[in-house]
Structure 1
Amino acid sequence: MKHQQVAVIGCGLGGATMTALLQRAGYDAAAFEQAPAFGPVGAGIHLSPNLMHVMRFLELDDVLVNCGFRPGAFTSRTFDTAEIRHELPLRESARERYGADYLTIHRGDFHAALISRIAPDSIHYGKQLTDVKESGKKVALAFSDGSRVTADLVIAADGVSSRVRSALFDPTPPNFSGQVAYRSIVKASDLPSEPLDDLTKWWADDRFVIAYYLDSAKEKYYFVAGFPADHWPVETSTLPGSREELRAAFADFHPAVCEILAGATDLRKWPLFERPPCEAWHQGRVVMLGDASHPMRPHMAQGAAMAIEDAVTLARCLAQHGLAHWEDAYQVYFETRIFRTATVQEISGQNTWLRDPMDPDWLFSHNASVAPLRASELELAR
């Protein structure tokens, strides 16, 4: 039976960052991912300045800037008239104001960059977790392929449907939020006219469309179109869509939006699931991060950023306290992160972020790689 100092369950964006940071700090860490292999899954993602600070710590910021797109502004428009409700300057303004870039990029390109910072032989694919059990000073992990691993510590980064969370913390499964979304990448050259902005969110009372470039060459243009739905089949991650449904749902949107939607070739739709935040993020030697502990709707584009901030905070806590004092490290990590993640989760659920004039400095200026770590009650008592 293989033994690890630290086993990370899940090698998505949060898990990959966590594994890379632990290895960088000299720990014997490995990731166990249920997917059979790495692939460019997903589509568009925002890398806001608070996330990019951690990328600089991993020496990935220049790689990502060269690959992704630096939008000139985040522009919010009224869905039918195209009236500008709010325009937040980005590009040079973001770099000057927050000390880091704001990028839009293909999720697969971002994930590949993170994977490149992990020792290749330490990512184990095809490892679907079936059991996690603490025994003495070890945690035993069992996988569906029959393999078993023990670890001194286990970090669960396995997303909104976290098996670790279900096994140890909260068995209540994620539930359908009542909202679904079409998402697709469109060849920019196929659009009949150039988009009004390079990053736009179009707002209606119960629907939205957000669209932006994914690459520095401006060849790929991406959109997400969200609208309400009465139900979604249980345990179904995606369903075929139809051009007729997409057109009907957004028929009253501005012609500039309809042009973009008409260019979609991959007509599939996804549900938005939600799950309450966990009141506790650690039990014994097992601790959670990202959507496993505080899943959130995507309306602030901060789900990955919060997972990555979690990862660098937890890595710093473990480095400060040492693996032998994991209880102290876990507690400081929780106390450092709980207020910020709860705030972001609440605002994300409201779907009002950057719709109207507001100050996003509290979010974008945060640098989790150097921010103060909140002392636990245990430390204060010493």
Structure 2
Amino acid sequence: MNQSHDPPHQNKLKPKPKAVIVGGSIAGVSCAHALILAGWDVVVIEKSRRPPKGNPTGAGLALDPLSQELIGSWTGHPELLHDITSPAAIDLNQAINDEKSKKILARDENFNHRAAHWSSLHHHLFSALPPEILLWGHLFLSFSVSNDKQSVKIRAQVLNTEETAEVDGDLPVAADGCNSLIRKHYFPDVKLRYSGYCGWRGVLDFSGIEDSETIKNVMEAYPELGKCLYIDLTPRNHTVFYEIPNKRLNWTWCLNQPEPHLKGNSVTMEVSDEMIQKMYQDAEKIWHPTLVQVMKETKEPFVNAIYDCDPLEQIVWDNVVLVGDAAHPTTPHSSRSTNMSILDAAVLGRCLEKWGSENLTAALEEYQYIRLPVASKQVLHARRVGRIKQGLELPDCRSFNPNTANWEECKMLLQRAVPFFGHNPLL
């Protein structure tokens, strides 16, 4: 930095650079933490009218050790993160045959992740930020970069008043998700790629019914719940099942099907009672009765269409930067989406701190140099693993059958096989 050449009084008067983060999901609030620590002023624009705390729906997620460390450094209270997460020390893949019996395919007892509910992690992050920086109920409309590429103007609709607000800044950060409007501005021809399957998801709250027959059967069928990420596989199907804090069981079931018709920008489908009953009937044919009962007792199960995107050529333009799912939409099979978002934020913050706002171009180029190749490899790996688990065709290997698979095939199921597992570069 060249700030040391300025007189002391000029340093004090020099205004902080300002970042405008579009999107207040986990990627957005993570960036807010990282950029504040780097010495930036921050504004976060989010279309939701209020924080999602207490939302009973939503999904579970797994945080790797580096993400845990970064979140603790941002909030200053790593013990609080420990309180809202459960151990996920074991990564276990097992086959379920026609008789509903189980066979271990691959097991990693040094997985060392922690499981959380999405809304709990989001609340943990945003509640540690200055409340005035979050503009809830602001729907992003458009942005414009100045002719000298030094500033940006963000326009958003204030949902409560329907007025248009304008926010000026030095750095726009696109954290607006897999259907990012800012990404579409630069890559209008890039489309999300449907994976070939959708994921039914749900969270069963078993507080108060711990002694019920269902929960007793669950603990018998899945004896390592509370420390294990269970992946059950049958031909062309797999489920993910694990416990998250406050006596909740998180489950996902991926089903091969044609691409559904979706409304708007959401990848979450509208579900009817008829669809839910059909899901139960299909589950009874292939899954262990205990898991099926968990599905049946879950309130408001929902289904996501699973998409990713071919890796982008770049994630930086002038003073515009993409982070999280806006930069690298990915399928969920390697537990990378949230972890990649958190690492994007950390790397961006450290690059900005290293180079200073007067060298913004160099900072963003280094961010792209570090994150683009890592995220691209992880996206393609997650895509491959998803197709393996769903028994879909791959150009270089036969369709995966968990009941006949050999060890070479099964070891790809472990999340330890993800590129850069355990050693993601920060700078």
Same-fold status (TM-score > 0.5): yes
1:36 corresponding residue in structure 2? 49
Is the 1:227–1:249 Cα contact (8 Å) retained in structure 2?
A: no
Q: How does 1:1-382 map to 2 (within 5 A)?
A: 5-40=18-53, 41=55, 42-58=58-74, 59-80=76-97, 81-90=101-110, 101-135=112-146, 136=148, 137-145=150-158, 146-188=164-206, 189=210, 190=212, 191-192=214-215, 193=217, 194=219, 195-196=221-222, 197-198=224-225, 199-215=229-245, 217=246, 219-235=247-263, 237-241=268-272, 242-250=275-283, 251-350=285-384, 351=386, 356-357=410-411, 359-360=416-417, 363-366=420-423, 368=425, 371=426, 373=427
How big is each residue's C-alpha offset from its partner over 1:89-145, in whole Å with a ceiling of 9 and x where there is no partner? 14xxx5xxxxxx521111111001110221100001122211111113211111123
1:333 deviates by 0.7
Please tell me whether Structure 1 or Structure 2 has the larger radius of gyration of its CA atoms: 2
For residues 357 and 187 of structure 2, the distance between their equivalents in structure 1, rounded to whole angstroms, comes to: 22
User: Which moved further from structure 2: 244-253 or 276-285?
Assistant: 244-253
For residues 221 and 319 of structure 1, the distance between their equivalents in structure 2, rounded to whole angstroms, comes to: 40
**Does the C-alpha gap of structure 1 residues 60 and 367 become closer, same or farther in structure 2, counting only changes over 3 Å?**
farther
| SS of the residue 1:342 aligns to | helix
For residues 157 and 182 of structure 2, the distance between their equivalents in structure 1, rounded to whole angstroms, comes to: 14
Aligned residues: 357
Instruction: Name stretches of at least 5 consecutive residues in structure 2 with no aligned partner.
Output: 1-15, 159-163, 390-406
Is the 1:23–1:118 Cα contact (8 Å) retained in structure 2?
A: no
For residues 67 and 75 of structure 1, the distance between their equivalents in structure 2, rounded to whole angstroms, comes to: 22
For residues 262 and 289 of structure 2, the distance between their equivalents in structure 1, rounded to whole angstroms, comes to: 35
For residues 233 and 360 of structure 1, the distance between their equivalents in structure 2, rounded to whole angstroms, comes to: 33
* % identical aligned pairs: 18
| SS of the residue 1:280 aligns to | coil
1:186 deviates by 1.3
CA RMSD of aligned residues (A): 2.3
Task: Provide TM-score, normalisation by structure 1.
Answer: 0.86
User: Which moved further from structure 2: 259-268 or 290-299?
Assistant: 259-268
**Amino acid of the residue matched to residue 69 of structure 2?**
H
For residues 361 and 142 of structure 1, the distance between their equivalents in structure 2, rounded to whole angstroms, comes to: 39
**Does the C-alpha gap of structure 1 residues 61 and 356 become closer, same or farther in structure 2, counting only changes over 3 Å?**
farther
| SS of the residue 1:130 aligns to | strand
| SS of the residue 1:117 aligns to | coil
Is the 2:308–2:383 Cα contact (8 Å) retained in structure 1?
A: no
Task: Provide TM-score, normalisation by structure 2.
Answer: 0.78
| SS of the residue 1:298 aligns to | coil
For residues 185 and 14 of structure 1, the distance between their equivalents in structure 2, rounded to whole angstroms, comes to: 22
**Amino acid of the residue matched to residue 247 of structure 1?**
Y
